[in-house]
Structure 1
Amino acid sequence: MTPFDLTGKLALVTGSRRGIGLAIARAYLAAGARVVLNSPDAGRLAPVAAELRALAPPETVLTSAFDVTDESAVEEAVAALTAEHGCPDILVNNAGIQLRGPLTDLPLADWKRVVDVDLTSAFIVGRTVARGMVARGSGKIINICSVQNHLVRPTTAPYAAAKSGLGGLTRSMCAEWARGGLQVNGLAPGYLDTDLNASLVDDPEFTAWITSRTPAGRWGRVEDVTGPAVWLASAASDFVNGQVVYVDGGLTAVI
Structure 2
Amino acid sequence: MDYSRLFRLDGRRIAVVGGAGGIGREAARALAAHGAEVIVADRDEAGAAETVRLAGAGASPCALDVLDETALRRAAADWGPLDGLVATVGVNVRKRLADYTAEEFERVVALNLRAHFSLVRACAPGMAARGRGSVACLSSMRAFQVEPGQGVYAASKAGLIQLLRTAAAEWGPRGVRFNAVAPGVVRTPLTDQIAADPEWYDAYARASALQRWARADEIAGALVYLMSDASTFVTGSVLTVDGGWTAVDGRYDPAV
Query: Do they superpose with TM above 0.5?
Result: yes
Q: Which residue of 2 aligns with 1:56?
A: 56
CA contact (8 A) 1:147 1:188 kept: yes
Give the partner amino acid of 1:238: T
Give distance in 2, aligned partners of 1:29 and 1:103.
Answer: 41
User: How far off its partner does 1:202 sit?
Assistant: 2.6
Letter in 2 for 1:56: G
Letter in 2 for 1:72: T
Give me the CA root mean square deviation. 1.3
In the superposition, relative to structure 1, how do residues 220 and 41 fare at CA in structure 2: closer, same or farther (>3 Å)? Answer: closer
Amino acid at match of 2:132: S
Structure 1 match to 2:79: 81
Q: 1:223 to 1:187 in 2, by over 3 A?
A: same
Superposition deviation, residue 44 in structure 1: 4.6
Does structure 1 residue 252 correspond to structure 2 residue 246?
A: yes
Q: 2:134 aligns with which of 129, 132, 140?
A: 140
The CA distance in 2 between the partners of 1:73 and 1:20, in whole Å, is 23
Distance 2:128 2:47 in 1: 33
* Structure 1 match to 2:253: none
Q: Structure 1 CA distance, aligned partners of 2:225 and 2:47?
A: 29
2:177 pairs with one of 176, 183, 199:
183
Consecutive unaligned residues of structure 1, counting only runs of 5 or more, are none
Q: How many residue pairs end up in the alignment? A: 246
1:70 aligns with one of 64, 68, 71: 68
**Distance across 1 between alignment mates of 2:234 and 2:48:** 32
Q: What amino acid is aligned across from residue 68 of structure 2 in structure 1?
A: D
Match of 2:206 in 1: 212
Which residues in structure 2 correspond to 1:98-113 (within 5 Å)? 98-113=92-107
Deviations 1:135-165 (A, max 9, x none): 0000000011000110111112221111010
In the TM superposition, residue 41 of structure 1 has moved relative to its aligned partner by 3.8
Distance (whole Å) between structure 1 residues aligned to residue 176 and residue 65 of structure 2: 24
Tell me, yes or no, if structure 1 residue 155 matches structure 2 residue 149: yes
Cα distance in structure 1, aligned partners of 2:25 and 2:50: 12
Deviations 1:19-62 (CA, angstroms, capped at 9, x unpaired): 0100100000111101101112435533443x22xx622xx111
2:239 is aligned with 1:241:
no
Counterparts of residues 1-16 of structure 1 (less than 5 Å): 2-16=5-19
Residue 29 of structure 1 contacts residue 35 of structure 1 at CA under 8 Å; is this kept in 2? yes
3-state SS of paired residue (2:5): coil
- Between 1:93-102 and 1:109-118, the stretch displaced more is 93-102
1:24 and 2:27 are equivalent in the alignment: yes
Q: Which amino acid aligns with 1:62?
A: S
Aligned pair 1:168/2:162, yes or no?
Answer: yes
- Within 2, Cα distance between the matches of 1:201 and 1:175? 39
Choose which of 38, 43, 51 in structure 2 pairs with 1:40.
43
Q: Which amino acid aligns with 1:93?
A: A
Q: Counterparts of 1:79 and 1:171 in 2: how far apart (Å)?
A: 25
- Rounded to whole Å, the distance in 1 between the matches of 2:132 and 2:148 is 40
TM-score w.r.t. length of structure 1? 0.93
CA distance in 2 between partners of 1:253 and 1:5 (Å): 31
Identical amino acids, percent of aligned pairs: 37
SS at match of 2:41: strand
| Deviation readout 1:228-251 (Å, 9 max, x if unpaired) | 111111001000110011000000
TM-score using structure 2 length: 0.93
Inter-CA distance 202–43: structure 2 relative to 1 (3 Å threshold): closer
The 3 A distance-change label for structure 1 pair 152 and 115 is same
**How far apart, in 1, do the equivalents of 2:50 and 2:36 lie?**
20
